[in-house]
Chains A and B, each alone.
Chain A
């Protein structure tokens, strides 16, 4: 099939989103929210720049095999070390095969050639842009997930926004109070007796940074004690490692039903400049860890995935052509995954730009056809029911042709 003809066919005419009109479905979603269970949005950040072309392989684009003489994943067929066919054009890396079940059930969507439109190939800048949500503008003080929380100001639980990390990610930093929680078990004062006086101290301090830090900390400590009994123990189905642990904790908070709405997890190790490997090897191991984590999360939550959307992103993709060390260097567009009951899955979204030399971004990278803000924006609008995205992604105009990612 001609790659350039593989355009996503619009199934719904949602052009009015760009005009700021409140479409009927948005009103419905918002109304449904008050009655039904809480909608939850989980963002997974893959730090280091994942090689999207080897995560979801465009095996029918002949240029792919020309560009990757040692790294290419064979097209689907019999045998283990081959791409897992999704739709006759794209295939999953074999280490991602656990995702196929979710895809087949219609709970997983892939968005290819997606990412940040900024050209930066700096890890730091590109991550920053993706987290503050204003590619190219560094001065934005807060993260887009935090802006969502701040602007919606729903009923406030200290667990409304949780990063399952030690350090607060920029995506969640800002005016709304958010919580970092790397371990529910270890989140307690070692000397309980100091609690009250410390809390008073932090509440009354004139140092705004620490007053806010203390507010989040002591609020969570208190609340955690009250609801501890409601939090189920961790399922043993998650693989060891930080990513599995983070997702396991998020799942426990979701099941405890204590007001979690926005959660964040991260997984690193994607900066594969050397000896990246193909169907097996370095990146395959990372992908396996990643897929196992998502799979355990999906199984753990079961029916509760009905209210959950999990979205993955990475700061940039990698060079279309492999480099001199059987690795790949910093590139441009990447692939994103959207998982959850509300997702209209079983489908690869986004226009495929093609990998022929003249189609590559700056002659070397996969070109970008879907802005990560279009994807994230749809989740916020259609899943969380917050229609006005101008404050979440300032300066960004949603395209007039939404992906139609959410059912």
Chain B
């Protein structure tokens, strides 16, 4: 299997990994400008005009609203009814509640995955959303996730890791999801907060996941004692009224002012908000973090079990560049490991990747209805709705159960036969079958798939193609 990839295969492989499945336009462009130049362009998304997709997203009514506006305009239906009764007004018929907010987040995510020209950037937004996962259906996060996506993840997805980490640490959505907004110094007298206040001491949920999932990794060298100390450092990092203003605030009176020791580093007493900032810096600079982030990126871009050589190189770049995300991506993508025969078609597409690539391949016109999103849920990836802090998995075995495979197959045939409300595929656009196969998997369709395609007629061959193993891979 040491045979090198052909140039055609390299182009498709590159586009498959740095985006949500190639379009014929992108294939032509990559052939024209070359892979290296294409990559450089994608690493600077701010220079790629993308008005078309931003217009589509702007048409969604909740995406630009502040958390406060969302809470006011989309209250829980029963809360809205109550308010209407109190004020003697009929509940507005358009009171759809926060389900609409989450629906539009899902629509925006999928719209961008399908139509954005900043494909690598959108891949990174998806990657970091998953790395810094929150569960949009948990309490106030129903209204805080829109700002999380827009103001926390997206502006930092191609920046410096440390800035992204700090932004998540100060995001109301994360503070709420991992309960840090409630975590206060255990020494504060209950009397000061009132007897019914839930905030009466430490909560270690955020501190643990910050080290286990966001930075060092579970074997990154921290102890239960460190979890406790980090939790103390972040006391007072809270939210001004989660279901009101929904803003971050540091509250000095809730902070544990004693001295702490984190990973062997002494943090002197009286540091206030600097305690948390110091922890962020300490973790962002830690060699375990460089390794852990590099491993996860290499897993996303190269293989479920990436070669140690590329993880080492990426970690080295991470350290040298102080966590500059584009630099680390360049190391990973512009590498022999990336373009190796072993890596080619080695990853199984996540449901989002599968669905987006199918819609891109068929040039579908879609309004991303609930019915379409339901397929993603049944395939195992309901967007923004992964409940555990680990987010969705990124390894093949998690995505290919009989149930999930069946949903993928059914999606392919429903798509091609125009049975998904709000989504249309035009038969004329997919008649160049042979060139499509060649484009998706140059010289690498198995005999089984070729034979099956040969005995299938018309657009049904397209359904079969998208249901075949080759199209489940990237």
Chain A contact residues, CB within 8 Å of chain B: 47-48, 120-125, 163, 165-168, 173, 179-182, 187, 189-191, 193-194, 197-198, 200-207, 209-210, 213-214, 216-217, 220-221, 268-269, 271, 273-275, 323-327, 329-330, 362
Contact = CB atoms under 8 A, between A and B. Distances in A.
Contact of A180 (B403, B409, B473): B403
Contact of A166 (B212, B390, B401, B467): B401
Given A201-B449, A205-B448, A324 B406 contact: no
B417 A191 contact: yes
A98 B417 CA distance: 49
30 contacts: A47-B388, A122-B212, A166-B401, A166-B407, A167-B398, A167-B401, A167-B404, A173-B397, A179-B402, A181-B403, A189-B409, A190-B419, A191-B463, A193-B460, A194-B463, A200-B452, A201-B448, A207-B470, A210-B472, A214-B405, A216-B401, A216-B402, A268-B387, A275-B198, A323-B201, A325-B179, A325-B198, A325-B200, A326-B200, A329-B203
Given A168-B397, A217-B405, 19 more contacts: A122-B212, A123-B390, A124-B218, A166-B403, A166-B407, A173-B397, A180-B402, A190-B410, A194-B456, A194-B467, A198-B464, A202-B469, A209-B469, A216-B402, A273-B203, A324-B183, A324-B202, A325-B200, A330-B208
B378 interface: yes
B401 A213 contact: yes
Given A191-B463, A204-B447, A205-B469, A274 B402 contact: no
Nearest to A70: B200
Looking at B201, B208, B390, B448, the one whose CB has the most chain A CB atoms below 10 A away is B448
A200 B448 CA distance: 8
Contacts of A326: 198, 200
Contacts of B449: 201, 205
Nearest to A204: B448
Nearest to A193: B460
A273 B179 contact: yes
A197 B401 contact: no
A325 B406 contact: no
Nearest to A364: B224
A323 B401 contact: no
B186 A324 contact: yes
Interface in B182-204: 182-184, 186, 198-204
A204 B198 CA distance: 60
Contact of B401 (A48, A168, A200, A324): A168
B205 interface: yes
A323 B460 contact: no
Contacts, number: 169
Contacts of B448: 200-206
A191 B458 CA distance: 15
B45 interface: no
Interface in B295-314: none
A209 B468 contact: no
Contacts of B406: 187, 189, 217, 221
A268 B386 CA distance: 12
Looking at B213, B410, B452, B463, the one whose CB has the most chain A CB atoms below 10 A away is B452
A202 B408 CA distance: 14
A213 B183 CA distance: 45
Nearest to B460: A194
A190 B208 CA distance: 44
Given A182-B378, A329-B204, A48 B388 contact: yes
Contacts of B399: 167
A227 B140 CA distance: 47
Contacts of A217: 402, 405-406
Contacts of A275: 198
B198 A323 contact: no
Contacts of B25: none
B218 A120 contact: yes
A210 B390 CA distance: 26
Contacts of B413: 189-191, 194
List the 5 shortest-distance A-B pairs measured between CB atoms, nearest first: A324-B201, A204-B448, A210-B469, A180-B401, A191-B413
